[in-house]
Amino acid sequence: MHKRPKGFTLAELVLALAITTVIGLAVTGVAAAVSNLNQRAEAYYECLQNGRVAATKLETMLRPALLITAASGSNMVVWTNDTADVGKINVSEVAKIFLDTTTKQLMLRTTVYPSTLTAAQVTGLDKPINLNDLVTVSVATSAPTYVQYDVVSVLAANVQSFAVYPDVPAPLTGLLKFKLVIGVAGQTVTQYGAVMLRAPSTSSVILKADGKYVLN
């Protein structure tokens, strides 16, 4: 009787190699799928978190505002406080919110005077603005005198779109709704919000016969 030689035959080795390859490919495919799923989940939660933070920032800033003087499309102008000259809108009290479609960032532009200026210089610069000059969403640039004092901050990044919906046209807006769409790595999240001005000065707004708005 002949004894079978020890070891594997060529056919057995080829079969084992084929099985190992199939298993390896399957494991690699599953690992890639899981990794892709994790990346998509992380992107989604990043969008969700960014949207919530941006909405909170908007609500926090708008709720105590005195007037939304302009609101259209993806832009708005806000009279944030009345600390300089009571009953008048001063340059430093105006905030402008707009979507930079190039960088896909929701921006906040304000005017801040440096501490190196004297009180007299600040008073000379911080002039009152007519309400009617603030009822259009002209937010791209400030007047030449104030460009050097512009402070621009980012409210939200990766913004695909931003839209505002006032209950009545500014500057008589008391309730503002907004829609914010944030996207990262193919994932998008839509964040809706609504802000009621806590103590609006809309009762002080008068529309004159010539079509111009003024503060009473």
Q: Which helix (H) or strand (E) holds 131?
A: none
**What are the tens digits of pLDDT across the range 91-111?**
999 999 999 999 999 999 999
C-beta of residue 216 within 8 angstroms of C-beta of residue 205: yes
Lowest mean pLDDT among 31-35, 96-100, 102-106, 123-127: 31-35
Confidence check: pLDDT of 38 > 70: no
Domain coordinates of the chain in residue numbers? 41-215
Lowest mean pLDDT among 34-43, 67-76, 166-175, 177-186: 34-43
Pairing relationship of beta strands 105-111 and 94-100 according to DSSP bridges:
antiparallel
Side-chain-facing half-sphere of 1: CA atoms under 13 Å: 2
C-beta of residue 33 within 8 angstroms of C-beta of residue 41: no
Beta bridge partners of 88: none
Structure tokens at 170: 């500014």
CA 27 to chain centre: 41
Residue 109 or residue 143, greater confidence:
109
Structure tokens at 6: 């020890």
Q: What is the pTM of this model?
A: 0.78
